[in-house]
Amino acid sequence: MAQTPQQRRANAKFAKSEEDKRGKPISQQKKKREELKSPISLFWVAILALVIIGGIFIEVIRMWF
């Protein structure tokens, strides 16, 4: 039995909703992974490193004197 246009539209709508539930294809997921950025900017990483290394440096100087 052939599908009627109404059945065809209903099947297309259902297929679309099921595709949305499953998520995106792997090819699009790989692209998204490549575009991910660090949650912390390079500026804040540099500030954190400065604080940690500076603290270690000051502690070493304090031990010597």
Instruction: Give 15-65 pLDDT, tens digit per residue.
Output: 888 887 777 666 665 555 566 677 888 999 999 999 999 999 999 999 988
Radius of gyration over every alpha carbon of the chain, rounded to an integer in angstroms:
28
DSSP 47-63: HHHHHHHHHHHHHHHHH
**Rounded CA separation 23/33 (Å):** 14
- Both ends of the chain: CA-CA distance in Å? 94
Nearest to 61 by CA among 50, 53, 48: 53
pTM above the 0.85 mark? Answer: no
